[in-house]
Chains A and B, each alone.
Chain A
Amino acid sequence: MLRPFVDDDGAPYFEYAAKGELRMQTCARCGEVLFPPRPMCPHCQSTEFEWKRMSGRGHIWSFAVPRPPLLPDYAAVAPYPVVVVELEEDRRLRLVGNLVAGADAEINSVDPATIEIGQPVRVVFRELEGLAVAAWTPDE
C-alpha cells in the first residue's frame, strides 16, 4: 500500500491521528478550518495555526469502487470502496478514506452494494504502512 506523504503542513494531522484524534488545521487568527493543510491561511494570510478537534462524525458525500488494473497491493483486495466524507462541522471539509467494518478490518470489509450517499459514518483509526490514518465506519 502507499504510505501517506507527511509534509511540513500536514505533519500535525498524523501526530494527532496516532493519538486517536481527528484534528484539522485551523487558522489561529480568523478561525477558518483548512483542508488540505497549507502554509498560509487563504482567508487572512496568517501563518499561525491551531489544530482543532473534530467530532469524527460525518456523511458520505460520494464514493468509488476501484477494480483492476491497480497497484498490486490494492488489486489484491479489489473491489474495495473509497469514500469521500463530509464532516459534520463543515460540509466543505471532505476527507477521502476507506470505509471499513471496524478499525481492524480490511478495506474491502464493507459490501459496496450497501453504501449510500448521505449515510452517516464515524471515524476510526487504523494503521497504513506504519502510519495512523483516519478511516470510516457506518454509524447508527
Chain B
Amino acid sequence: MNPTPLKDRAAIVGIGQTEFAKHLEPSEKALACRAIAMALDDAGIAAREVDAFAAYTMEATDEVEVAKAVGAGDVTFFSRVGFGGGGSCATIGHLAMAIATGQAEVGVAWRSRKRGSGPRPWTDTVNQLPTPAQWTRPFGLLRPVDEIAVLARRHMYEYGLTREHLGNVAIACRNRANANPAAIMHERKLTMEDYLSARMISDPLCLFDNCLETDGALAVVMVSAERARDCKQQPVYVHAFGQGLPAQHHGMVNYWNDDPLAGPSWTAAKQLWKYSDFRPEDVDVAQIYDAFTPLIPLSLEGYGFCGKGEGGAFTEDGALELGGRLPINTSGGGLSEAYVHGFNLINEGVRQLRGTSSNQVAGASTCLVTAGEAVPTSAVLLRRD
C-alpha cells in the first residue's frame, strides 16, 4: 500500500470570494453561493460536477441549501468540522481525503459569515456556558480574547514574550493589508507607536491584538491531481494535512494539563510533518491563523519554526515581513484583511502558489496554512509543481 496516500493526490483548482466589509446586505446563504459560484468559474468546472462538500459546524447554511442553490450534482461526500476557526484547514483536508480515496471527484469547501454585522458569539450566555466555560466565564473571563490573554501573560512570564513581539505580528499583517486592495484595513497604516498606545481590551492584549469583525464568504474547488493538470489554473496540491485534538485538551481554556502553552498545533504539526517531503525550513510563506496576535508565536513554536518559548523572539528583525525569514499572512490575515474564520488564509495560500498575491513572495513553492491554535485545530501544507 502507498504509505502516503494523501500526499499531492488532490489539488485546489478554483478559489472565490465576495468582497469583505463590516456590513454586507446579502444573507450568509447568498454570500456562500456567490463565493462558490466564483470558485467554480475560476476553476472552469460546471456546478453539476460538484459531488462533495466540506464546511465548519458553525456554518449557518447547510449542504442541502447550498447544493440546490448552486446546482451541484449527486453529492456523495459531505463533512463538517467543529471548533470554530480550528476547522478551516480540516475542510480542505477532508475533501482531499475524499478525492484521494475515490469517494468524490469535485469538492467544494466554503465559509460564509456575517460576523461584522451579526452578534458576537460570546454574548450568547445560554449556549456558551456549559463545560468547560462554566468554570471560567462566570468569573469574568468572558470572551476568547480574555482566555488567550491568560496564555499570553504566562508566555511573557515564562519565556519573555513582549508586547513589541505581538506588535510585530499586528504590524506585519497590517503592512500586507496596506498592499491588498481587498483588505478591510487597506488604507489604514499601523505603527509600533500606534500599537503600544492602543486601548487595552484584556490586559496584556490591546485593540490591535484582536482580529477584525467582518462580513464575507470564500470557497475553494478541489479535484484529483490528474484532473488538475488539465484545469485552467495552475494546480495547488494538498501535500500534507493534520488535525489536532491533544490528550487532555480543554478548548480555548486549556489550563488543566501539564503545559497549557503547548496547544493543539503541536499535535496537528506532528501529523502534518509525518508524511511531508518538506520541513519547516523549506516553507516559503505561511498563513497562520490570527484571531489574536499571541496565536502566531504559539503556532510558530507548535509547527516547528522555532523552539519552545522562542515564538516571540522569532518575530524580531522583520522575520514575518516580506523578505524576512517567514513572511506570514500575506493578504493581511484575520487581523487586517478580513476575519472569516481563517478561510481567507486558504485562498491567499493558493494565490501565493499561483504567483498572484498582492504581496507575492518571489518563487514561493510551498505554503503552510494553519487553523486556529488553542482550539482543536488543523493545518495543510500546500505546494505547486
Where the two chains meet, the residues of A that have a C-beta atom closer than 8 Å to any C-beta of B are 1-7, 9-10, 35-36, 42, 61-67, 69-71, 74, 79-80, 82, 84, 92-98, 107, 112, 117, 128-129, 133, 135
Contacts and interface: CB of A to CB of B under 8 A. Distances in A.
Contacts of A74: 140, 142
Nearest to B120: A69
A5 B256 CA distance: 19
Interface stretch (B42-50, B90-98, B127-135, B296-304): B127-135
Contact of A79 (B131, B135, B154, B203): B203
Point out which of A2, A9, A98 has the most chain B C-beta atoms below 10 A from its C-beta.
A2
Interface magnitude class on chain B: 35 or more
B125 interface: yes
A96 B253 contact: yes
Nearest to A128: B138
Contact of B143 (A9, A66, A92): A66
Given A3-B138, A66-B142, A35 B154 contact: no
B250 A98 contact: no
Contacts of A64: 141, 146, 149-150, 153, 202-205
Given A64-B153, A84-B255, A92-B257, A4 B140 contact: no
Contact of B130 (A1, A7, A35): A7
A104 B256 CA distance: 28
Interface string B51-81: 0000000000000000000000000000000
Contacts of B146: 64, 66, 82
**Which A-B residue pairs are the 9 nearest by beta carbons?**
A64-B149, A65-B203, A62-B154, A5-B134, A2-B138, A96-B136, A117-B157, A94-B255, A4-B138
B202 A65 contact: yes
Contact of A93 (B138, B151, B256): B256
Give the one of A1, A80, A84, A96 with max B CB within 10 A.
Answer: A96
A62 B150 contact: yes
Nearest to A86: B255
B121 to A, nearest CB: 13
B123 A71 contact: yes
29 contacts: A2-B129, A4-B135, A5-B134, A7-B130, A10-B131, A42-B248, A61-B154, A62-B157, A64-B149, A64-B203, A64-B204, A66-B146, A66-B201, A67-B199, A67-B201, A67-B202, A67-B203, A69-B120, A70-B140, A70-B142, A71-B125, A84-B150, A92-B257, A93-B256, A98-B140, A107-B139, A117-B153, A117-B157, A133-B139
B200 A96 contact: no
A7 B134 contact: yes
B130 A5 contact: yes
B282 interface: no
B142 A36 contact: no
Given A82-B140, A84-B255, A93-B256, 20 more contacts: A2-B129, A2-B142, A4-B134, A4-B138, A5-B130, A5-B131, A7-B131, A10-B131, A10-B135, A36-B135, A61-B154, A62-B154, A64-B150, A65-B149, A74-B142, A94-B260, A96-B136, A96-B255, A128-B139, A129-B138
Contacts of A67: 199-203
B140 to A, nearest CB: 5
B137 interface: yes
Nearest to B123: A71
A74 B141 CA distance: 10
Interface in B317-339: none
A94 B253 CA distance: 11
Contacts of A62: 150-151, 153-154, 157
A10 B251 CA distance: 18
Nearest to B259: A92
A70 B120 CA distance: 11
Nearest to A91: B258
A64 B135 CA distance: 15
Nearest to B203: A65
A67 B140 CA distance: 10
Contacts of A61: 154, 255
Contacts of A93: 256
B126 to A, nearest CB: 10
Contacts of B260: 94
Contacts of B129: 2, 5
Nearest to A94: B255
